[in-house]
Amino acid sequence: SQQGEEDPQALSIQEGENATMNCSYKTSINNLQWYRQNSGRGLVHLILIRSNEREKHSGRLRVTLDTSKKSSSLLITASRAADTASYFCATGAMNRDDKIIFGKGTRLHILP
Nearer to another protein, 16 or 104 (CB): 104
Q: How far is the CB of 9 from another protein (least distance, A)?
A: 9
Q: Could you say whether residue 48 binds another protein (CB under 8 A)? A: yes
Q: Could you say whether residue 98 binds another protein (CB under 8 A)? A: yes
Where does this chain touch another protein (CB under 8 A) — which range of 16-24, 57-65, 68-76, 92-100?
92-100
* Count of residues of this chain found to bind another protein when the rule CB under 8 A is applied: 25
DSSP secondary structure string for all residues of the chain: ----EEE-SEEEEETTS-EEEEEE-SS--SEEEEEEESTTS-EEEEEEEETT-SEEEETTEEEEEETTTTEEEEEE-S--GGG-EEEEEEEEPSSTTPPPEE---EEEEEE-
Q: Could you say whether residue 72 binds another protein (CB under 8 A)? A: no
Pick one of 21, 74, 92, 108: the residue that binds another protein (CB under 8 A): 92
Residues that bind another protein (CB under 8 A): 30-31, 33, 35, 40-45, 48, 88, 90, 92-93, 96-105
